[in-house]
Amino acid sequence: METDFTDKDTYQDIFDPHAYCNIYYGPKSGLLVVDGFLDFALKKLCETFTVRGIKGKTLIDIGHGPTTFQDLSACEAFEEIIGADYTDRNREYYERSLRDEPGTFDWTEAIQKVCDMEGKGMTVEEKKKKLQATVKKTIKCDVLKSNPMEPLVLPKVDCVLTFGCLECACSDLDTYRRVLKNVSTLIKIGGHLIVSEILNCSSYLLGGKRFSCLVLTKEFMRSAIIETGFTIVDLEVIPRKYDKEQYELCNHDSSLFVLARKERDV
């Protein structure tokens, strides 16, 4: 289904963070729970930070939106996490979720799964406190800018993580390549990029509004990341079963996870 490109101002004006969490991550019927993405993402992130031992001082979570699940394993491997998102509403909701404020989405099931996978005997409450202590702040960012954190100039970091953000920010593949370069400037040589995207998706529905997605493939993602000066360390794709009703909500056919090491500036 064709959808006009959804620009960043539309996200700023009408994107509903709480509705998004409920529709896409609700424990029983959330689309990205039912299709297996959330379990896949939690498993891959746990592998990345515990089995592969990716760690360091600072990780930037770019385009975190209203979700915090992507930082649950990272907070054990990095001294600090800096959140970054374009929309004011998402940054506010992310901070409120970290504080576990009433009225925010309940991530208990995801947190328990991560605690079980990590096998350290940590409780849900302990993990929440660890995450809250590790995420130092969330700042405004725009990945379309050569310095996404403008006007701030941050020291280069050990890792950038971005989940389901860049495909929504880019109107075409050339822009996606440029955005990867923009994001890469934030990472030290020898540091890591972690990217997850849904593939072959053109749009998703939220609050009666259809938001655009850039159609991405595994082959494009591999080549674009390598062209940006990275070596692929891990790349995995999981397919999604066809379901007419679910596809009308969001029409991706698979999900991708990539861990890459920065070898050079380009």
Q: Which residues are annotated as a binding site for S-adenosyl-L-methionine?
A: 20, 25, 85, 90, 142-143
Determine the straight-line distance between the first and last CA of the chain, rounded to whole angstroms.
35
Binding site listing: 20, 25, 85, 90, 142-143
Cα 213 to Cα 37: distance, rounded to the nearest angstrom: 17
User: Are residues 62 and 84 in contact, defined by beta-carbon separation less than 8 angstroms?
Assistant: yes
User: Are residues 228 and 184 in contact, defined by beta-carbon separation less than 8 angstroms?
Assistant: yes
**CB neighbours (10 Å) of residue 39?**
15
Cα 264 to Cα 90: distance, rounded to the nearest angstrom: 32
Cα 250 to Cα 208: distance, rounded to the nearest angstrom: 13
CA proximity to 70, closest of 9, 3, 159, 154: 159
Angle at 60 between CA 63 and CA 116, to 5 degrees: 90
Name the helix (H) or strand (E) containing 248: helix 244-249
